[in-house]
Structure 1
Amino acid sequence: MKSKFLKLVLPAFAILMAVGLAFATEDRPVPKIGYYEHPTLGWQEVTVDDNCGESGSIACTAFDQQVYSEPDDESTPLMRDQ
């Protein structure tokens, strides 16, 4: 009796778990990090929009400061399209 029950229930349970876990995942965007130079505190890390990148026409800013890809004035400034 126990053997028949396990042969029926275990595969069904495995299938239910697989289907349930397939819908339990969430697609989260990876936050982009940029750096800006604060006048008194120096280089600060900030999370930027997904559309900020190395090309574009509008500067990505944080607290009215240009955001860069690395904590250095000579690194690439992050820009975005309209």
Structure 2
Amino acid sequence: MDVNYKILDTQRITDYISTSANEVSVENIILYSGADKLRVYPALFELEQSGWLEVVEREELGAPSVVRKKRNEDK
């Protein structure tokens, strides 16, 4: 049986972000989530596109540097 590492790493990233009370640096996601560092940025892009995640700060070329789980709009 093949393991889908993309799904596994995306789950590790969402778990790590969900356990954080507020914003999370992408550097900390890379260091502490357990996800393969080469899959972090593509996964964050997909999570942002799906509406699960919002980017709080971006680097000069547009890569996310700080993210957080998207808050419910109906507060």
Higher relative contact order (CA 8 A, sep 6+): 2
Q: TM-score, normalised by structure 2?
A: 0.24
Which of 1 and 2 has greater Rg?
1
